[in-house]
Structure 1
Amino acid sequence: MENVLESIEFTYDGNDLGAVYTPQYTIFKVWAPTVEKITVVLYETFSDDLGQRHSMTKGQKGVWELNLQGDFKNKYYNYLVLNNGVEKETQDIYTKGCSANGKKGMIVDFSSINPVNWENHLRALPINRTQAIIYEIHIRDFSVWADSGIKNKGQYLGFAEKDTKTPEGIVTGLDHLIDLGITHVHLMPVYDFASVDETAGGYNWGYDPYLYNVPEGSYASNSNDGTVRIREFKTMIQALHENGISVVMDVVYNHSFAIDNSPMDILVPGYYYRRDENGNYTNGSGCGNEIASEKLMVRKFIVDSIMFWAREYKIDGFRFDLMALHDIDTMKEVARQAKIINPNIIIYGEPWTGGESSLDQSKQVRKGSQRGLQVSLFNDDMRNAIKGDNDGNWAGFVNGGGGLQAEIKKGIVGGIRYSNEICNFAQEPGESINYVSSHDNLCLYDKFEKSNPSNTPLEREKMNRLALAIILTCQGVPFIQGGTEILRTKQGNHNSYNSGDAVNGIDWSRKAEYMETYEYIKGLISLRKSQKVMTLDNDYEVIKSLVFLESPYNSVAYQLTSNFKEDFSKLIIIHNSNNGEIKIVLPDSNEWKVLANEYEVDKTGVSKGTKTCINEVSIPSISTYILCR
């Protein structure tokens, strides 16, 4: 039967699935070719147990339809599905709103919910993906700490508060992000997920989707009233946008929370999930199931969902969880449709699976298959070269590993084919998301505490700084885990997905403790944003502009030559991971100004330490120097 559903006869291409509201009527449409009967159950309020029933009519392409006359603005609904003589109530997979815990879907009139000036609010100026600086954060982690100074702790609205400070007067929250200078906030899952009871509260990262087109209710001030989560989510987005920050959504279309009683499986039994030749559900996600993106109506659902978030919520980018579980054609269509809505939208994801998938490997989005698709991938080779393994004792370039200069160089050029020796998976540098830590695994500070217990705290702080300096100066797209700029710790917990606020929350007092590192990272971001030659999105331009210089073992040095009017004509960037000082002979005998040393980064020139160099420069242990002319 599944093969029959892939025929043109059952492939619906309309853009009106779900409940489409007008004040005069609401049209319900649901694709469910194989079931016997579907009834719309209409609820007056989120707390109603009994609803009015209205039978749907089956039309062409396997789409059931009901045109219900009257004004049903922000009312609730579900479908009653009869299949093989068994009747089950389920939510609409296309629903755009819901009551607490997704019990009921919602007929949404967005115009009645939107914050003031939502439609015309200012957004950040468009930039190339290589000009983006992405900051990954969880909604609760950002504001929940007792001393954050943020009133709406753990909620969307926490991101919309200005002038928040710790009791000691340290800037937090939205003002921290503005001051730091990042361009994009990457929000860990904010669609409706199943692992937290929205009425009781709780903690989870949220990689267990339930309703894909509805904001999560546990981050709203009221999870019962479906209008509240929509308004508050948009209020957060608007506040970030109006302060020059774009918003990336972490999306998980590769699996659902469960198969049993999932809306997908009730509406079209067996269709949405991959199975092996024996009919058993496969588990490429490691979470019990994997969604079959290669099937036409599954691909349509994913593409429709991305288009909805991009249009209705003005989302500026999407990070795909376990993107190798998606077939290349689906990701190609996602990128194509998203770029029509917003040419500067960023699409990126993980080029791996969470287990063995039944999707043929040749169809998976793996490193190399993204070339030319306008889809970027996490560069785990660069990550491992910088710090070593994620959770163990192995050391990388910055924390004592030896002979990794060649691997670091591959990352510095953005993963492109720079030469026969220096090459990786990318066709263009923008296809490489350069990072050293993310929500998964030990955060950077904890990694260095584990792998480098005999080093001093100051040396580990310098390792943290050097690691981020490499990420923020190389070609490609820099991505930093929120809090790394203030040496965030999770007390050594490498998988804190449900470990609660005490482990996961950002302890803002660390900003005062590590202010010098914070200012250093802020300075690097400012410098990167000022120099176009650091953000090239063309492999030819990188090869033409970047030359590696001779440098001692366990160090990397290179020169950037720029033709951009706003740039310095030449930059030299040197990363020294040795425990001792090194000397680098400069390419000519002109005077070079120091923009970054072991103390600070300042695009106008440093105020402490060595300020200018001629002929050669001395680089202290575990530090980055940047020189200009």
Structure 2
Amino acid sequence: MYKGGGEVWRRDDRHGIVFLEKDWDGSTLPMNLVAEAGLAGSDFKPFDPRERAKLGGYSKIGEKALFLLEPERFPSLLRTGKTEVFLASEWNDWEKARDEECWKMQPEKGDLCLWMNWEDLLHLGVFEFKFITREGRWLDPPDSFPGVKEKIPGAVNFVFDPARTGRDLVGFRVLPAPEATCLDGLLRERPTGSFGYAEEGNGSRFRVYAPRAHQVELLFFDDPDGEATETHPMERNEDGSWSLELSERSSGCLYRYAVSGPEHASRGPRRVRILDPYALAATGRNGPGIAMPVPKPVAGKDVFVPPEMKDLVIAEAHLRDLLAHAPADLTAEERLGFTGLSKWLESEDCYLRRLGVNAVEIQPVLEFDSLSREEYHWGYMPVSFMAPASAYAGNALDGSAVREFRKLVESFHNAGLAVILDVVYNHVGVPNHLGHLDRELYFTIDELGRLTNHSGCGNDLNCQSEPSRKLVLDSVLHLVRTFDVDGFRFDLGELLGIDLLREIETETRRIKPNLILIAEPWSFRGRLPTEINATGYSLWSDACRERILSYVKEGCLDPRSALDLLQGKLDPENRFPWQSVNYLESHDDHAFVDRLCRAADWKDGKPPAGIEEKARLAIGLALLSPGIPMLAAGQDFMRGKQGVRNTYLRGDLNALDYGQLEHFREFSDWVRSLIAFRLSREGSFLRPSSFGELEYEELVEGEGFGLLIRRKGESTRLILVNPTGCALRIPLPEARGEGGASVVWGKCESLPGKVAPFDFQVIELPG
């Protein structure tokens, strides 16, 4: 069963039901939910009211509510027709309903029925009900029916909801899996040329790849939610594409494609309206797209040169989390989108600028499946790989998202910050436009014809399919050329596969040699093979996240994990130190501080004693280690999420509270100071490009420990770590003494070797 705006229930091999959250309004939601559940369906129809009542216990017919029980479901109990059955609910005292004949069900057309005025029930709102015999036996709803509630184990009730009159149940036919033989050649053949809208002379051209479609039409709209005002049949080409040339330019026009195909091709309804996969702007998740010529690429001296991978310090952030409470003069509208962040970045007081990082990893900003502009959304359910999110645009209808996002990237660059986009190419959201275009061509299918779900989001893009690969490659190249983005973080990169990731690296670095490439190396299927370490990718390090958490949480008894991190050894398969993105928290799962203590243990805005110190120790280890340190926005001021693990819908918990920054000013200043040191000339030894560049020597002295770091032609550096709650005097190496030794980072008033509680010292040694 799949949930998300409704639930999909497969009754048998050939039939299924979509149980919507409210009555069906004729939209494509049932089709989208079925596609997202990994099925192909056709013949979508609302249930007959009586059939709906047989499953859900009630239905609205005319101005009456029909409560219905099907005796065939209880043959041993109701077959004689003599057993009396009553409608019971909280508003008629449940079991006591048997005492009043008005609640007795009456025989009708082989069923037991009770009719009531619909208006008389509306004031009750949503309520639970059930059927009970005269003898007191409760009659349970049908097994597995989604529209029930189980407050306590074994007590299952029907649910009456005024928003569900009976059109909330939509039946459909499950289509069989297609024959793979018709796909083999198409999966291996990469489409050529450009797709989407283009201007040629004074005319225009539309082109889409749909080799198995029977017909494709171009639809124009005046109203994005209205009916098409023009319909133009497109011409099929020998290469499987469909195209249409018009004598006039169509820039600014709203358009969709209508794709028709045989049922066995598993495209759901026979004719489906979709958003062009290559539309450069969209008005929302359902489309339409906005016809727009490809903007001139950013070129020449305007191209931003990001830092080398080894020199990066990254902050991960969500656009609306940054803006919701930003101490800036922004309108409510500006706090929702690209323009607001562009304006704030102009100020030197902008949080990201003051933090001191040199790169920002922005959570997904391509068109996603939010239902409204105001809805908070992380962006990990994309419906387009080309169009910037209309929810972040000032005007979704004129394509302003394109110029506003381009301006935002420029604003980051003016502030000295590289832009890394978190991109999702492993699955899609609702509606599944690519699935309606050609389900089996773009998605992985199991042996039963169902969509696989190693992404955990209902479908997996088939990254072995050449049409899929071209779409992904065209997307990343468009984002680099058009917006001058500086890098990508590939969500669930394992699902993209090593071959596609290599091709992305080759093609994008032809345009931008310093492009930053980061992959999340896992999925629900497994991990990327070690061949990924022979590429120029960095990988999120779950070893850092988990082992450093264990180290600080369990009392810092064994420094092995900390010493390994300080030498870049936590991920031994790496070929280069910068291939580890060392992080303690991200948008996913708990905030780091919530893993150190319970939210309930905070008092007066402060965590329990020792928690702030443990957080400082962990962040310090990450910032003093080879690799790429990444902080989640707000981590520098102890941002928690009230102990909630998955906050993808909780804008209230994710929004940064800058008042808390003042609460933890000393902590934040300490983090910023360490970032500044890491990025300084004196801190260059923390950013080696290769493992052979430095020599390390471990020093363990009682409860404290240190690491000697030697680089040819430079002074020796010593990192001292005090993981205890008391100041420690850690002896300097023999024959070095204190003469000539100087503290280059740490408490300036401290002598070399005297380290404050839960703190660090970086010392330069002579010779």
Task: Give TM-score, length-normalised by structure 1.
Answer: 0.85
Q: Tell me whether 1:573 sits opposite 2:719 in the alignment.
A: yes
Aligned to 1:419: none
Is this contact kept in 2: 1:156–1:236, CA < 8 A? Answer: yes
Is this contact kept in 1: 2:420–2:485, CA < 8 A? Answer: yes
Q: Could you say what secondary structure the match of 2:668 adopts?
A: helix
Is this contact kept in 1: 2:304–2:484, CA < 8 A? Answer: no
Look up the equivalent residue of 2:630 and give its one-letter code. Answer: F
Q: Deviations over 1:475-502 (max 9, x none)?
A: 01111101111221222222110012x2
Change in Cα spacing, 1:447 to 1:230, as seen in structure 2 (3 Å) is same
Aligned to 1:365: 528
Superposed displacement of residue 302, structure 1: 1.1
Is this contact kept in 2: 1:473–1:528, CA < 8 A? Answer: yes
Superposed displacement of residue 161, structure 1: 2.0
Q: Could you say what secondary structure the match of 2:320 adopts?
A: helix
Aligned to 2:383: 210
Look up the equivalent residue of 1:536 and give its one-letter code. Answer: P
Superposed displacement of residue 453, structure 1: 5.2
What is the rounded CA distance, in whole Å, between the counterparts of 1:216 and 1:3 in structure 2?
A: 37
Superposed displacement of residue 102, structure 1: 4.1
Superposed displacement of residue 539, structure 1: 2.0
Give the one of 338, 343, 358 matched to 1:156.
338
Is this contact kept in 2: 1:23–1:72, CA < 8 A? Answer: no
Superposed displacement of residue 26, structure 1: 2.0
Superposed displacement of residue 179, structure 1: 2.5
Q: Tell me whether 1:189 sits opposite 2:358 in the alignment.
A: no
Give the one of 227, 238, 242 matched to 2:410.
238
Superposed displacement of residue 8, structure 1: 7.2
Is this contact kept in 1: 2:345–2:353, CA < 8 A? Answer: no
Is this contact kept in 1: 2:541–2:571, CA < 8 A? Answer: no
Give the one of 687, 701, 715 matched to 1:551.
701
Superposed displacement of residue 11, structure 1: 2.0
- Residues 280-429 of structure 1 correspond to what in structure 2 (within 5 A)? 280-353=450-523, 355=524, 357=525, 365-366=528-529, 368-387=530-549, 396-415=550-569, 424-429=572-577
Superposed displacement of residue 122, structure 1: 4.5
Larger Rg: 2
Aligned to 2:590: 442
- RMSD of aligned alpha carbons: 2.6
Superposed displacement of residue 560, structure 1: 2.1
Q: Deviations over 1:261-285 (max 9, x none)?
A: 5211121132211122232221101
Give the one of 224, 230, 234 matched to 1:56.
234
What is the rounded CA distance, in whole Å, between the counterparts of 2:181 and 2:740 in structure 1?
A: 70
Superposed displacement of residue 314, structure 1: 0.9
Q: Could you say what secondary structure the match of 1:331 adopts?
A: helix
Q: Deviations over 1:528-554 (max 9, x none)?
A: 11232211121221xx3333223335x
What is the rounded CA distance, in whole Å, between the counterparts of 1:257 and 1:329 in structure 2?
A: 24
Look up the equivalent residue of 1:237 and give its one-letter code. Answer: V
Q: Could you say what secondary structure the match of 2:676 adopts?
A: helix
Q: Deviations over 1:262-321 (max 9, x none)?
A: 211121132211122232221101111111111121112111111111111111111111
Is this contact kept in 1: 2:274–2:286, CA < 8 A? Answer: no
Q: Could you say what secondary structure the match of 1:218 adopts?
A: helix
Q: Could you say what secondary structure the match of 2:399 adopts?
A: helix
Q: Tell me whether 1:619 sits opposite 2:750 in the alignment.
A: no
Look up the equivalent residue of 2:517 and give its one-letter code. Answer: I
Superposed displacement of residue 410, structure 1: 2.8
Superposed displacement of residue 563, structure 1: 4.3
Change in Cα spacing, 1:89 to 1:473, as seen in structure 2 (3 Å) is same
Aligned to 1:527: 677
Look up the equivalent residue of 2:370 and give its one-letter code. Answer: S
The answer to which structure, 1 or 2, has the higher relative contact order (CA under 8 A, 6+ apart) is: 1
Q: Could you say what secondary structure the match of 1:271 adopts?
A: helix
Is this contact kept in 1: 2:284–2:367, CA < 8 A? Answer: no
Give the one of 692, 709, 728 matched to 1:560.
709
Is this contact kept in 2: 1:191–1:215, CA < 8 A? Answer: yes
What is the rounded CA distance, in whole Å, between the counterparts of 1:13 and 1:376 in structure 2?
A: 30
Q: Which shows bigger deviation, 135-144 or 178-187?
A: 178-187
Q: Could you say what secondary structure the match of 2:255 adopts?
A: strand
Give the one of 408, 414, 429 matched to 1:257.
429
What is the rounded CA distance, in whole Å, between the counterparts of 2:709 and 2:326 in structure 1?
A: 45
Is this contact kept in 2: 1:121–1:238, CA < 8 A? Answer: no
Is this contact kept in 2: 1:122–1:241, CA < 8 A? Answer: no
What is the rounded CA distance, in whole Å, between the counterparts of 1:83 and 1:578 in structure 2?
A: 69
Change in Cα spacing, 1:413 to 1:226, as seen in structure 2 (3 Å) is farther
Superposed displacement of residue 107, structure 1: 1.3
Give the one of 43, 52, 68 matched to 2:246.
68
Aligned to 2:159: none
Identity of aligned residues (%): 24
Give the one of 567, 571, 584 matched to 2:730.
584
What is the rounded CA distance, in whole Å, between the counterparts of 2:563 and 2:457 in structure 1?
A: 36
Is this contact kept in 1: 2:283–2:289, CA < 8 A? Answer: yes
Superposed displacement of residue 136, structure 1: 0.4
What is the rounded CA distance, in whole Å, between the counterparts of 2:209 and 2:353 in structure 1?
A: 44
Look up the equivalent residue of 2:671 and give its one-letter code. Answer: I
Superposed displacement of residue 403, structure 1: 4.3
What is the rounded CA distance, in whole Å, between the counterparts of 1:10 and 1:77 in structure 2?
A: 30
What is the rounded CA distance, in whole Å, between the counterparts of 2:182 and 2:578 in structure 1?
A: 40
Look up the equivalent residue of 1:153 and give its one-letter code. Answer: R
Aligned to 1:179: 354
Superposed displacement of residue 44, structure 1: 4.8
Superposed displacement of residue 90, structure 1: 0.9
Q: Tell me whether 1:517 sits opposite 2:671 in the alignment.
A: no
Superposed displacement of residue 192, structure 1: 0.6
Is this contact kept in 2: 1:187–1:250, CA < 8 A? Answer: yes
Q: Could you say what secondary structure the match of 1:307 adopts?
A: helix
Q: Deviations over 1:180-199 (max 9, x none)?
A: 2211111111011103422x
Superposed displacement of residue 49, structure 1: 2.8
Aligned to 1:141: 321
What is the rounded CA distance, in whole Å, between the counterparts of 1:72 and 1:122 in structure 2?
A: 30
Look up the equivalent residue of 1:21 and give its one-letter code. Answer: E
- Residues 424-503 of structure 1 correspond to what in structure 2 (within 5 A)? 424-450=572-598, 457=608, 459-500=610-651, 502-503=652-653
What is the rounded CA distance, in whole Å, between the counterparts of 2:320 and 2:276 in structure 1?
A: 28
Q: Could you say what secondary structure the match of 1:310 adopts?
A: helix
Is this contact kept in 2: 1:21–1:107, CA < 8 A? Answer: no
Count the aligned residue pairs.
Answer: 571
Change in Cα spacing, 1:311 to 1:456, as seen in structure 2 (3 Å) is closer
Is this contact kept in 1: 2:424–2:490, CA < 8 A? Answer: yes
What is the rounded CA distance, in whole Å, between the counterparts of 1:523 and 1:66 in structure 2?
A: 59
Look up the equivalent residue of 2:576 and give its one-letter code. Answer: E
Is this contact kept in 2: 1:35–1:81, CA < 8 A? Answer: yes
Superposed displacement of residue 619, structure 1: 2.3
Is this contact kept in 1: 2:187–2:467, CA < 8 A? Answer: no
Q: Could you say what secondary structure the match of 1:214 adopts?
A: coil
Give the one of 673, 676, 688 matched to 1:536.
688
What is the rounded CA distance, in whole Å, between the counterparts of 2:433 and 2:505 in structure 1?
A: 26
Q: Could you say what secondary structure the match of 2:285 adopts?
A: helix
Aligned to 2:271: 87
Structure 1's unaligned 5+ residue stretches are 166-170, 388-395, 416-421, 601-605
Q: Could you say what secondary structure the match of 1:39 adopts?
A: strand
Structure 2's unaligned 5+ residue stretches are 1-178, 264-269
Superposed displacement of residue 406, structure 1: 2.0
Change in Cα spacing, 1:188 to 1:423, as seen in structure 2 (3 Å) is closer
Is this contact kept in 1: 2:599–2:642, CA < 8 A? Answer: no
Look up the equivalent residue of 2:336 and give its one-letter code. Answer: G
Q: Which shows bigger deviation, 294-303 or 396-405?
A: 396-405
Look up the equivalent residue of 2:423 and give its one-letter code. Answer: V
Q: Deviations over 1:140-183 (max 9, x none)?
A: 00011175554421321222225889xxxxx75xx332232211
What is the rounded CA distance, in whole Å, between the counterparts of 2:467 and 2:557 in structure 1?
A: 49
Q: Could you say what secondary structure the match of 1:213 adopts?
A: coil
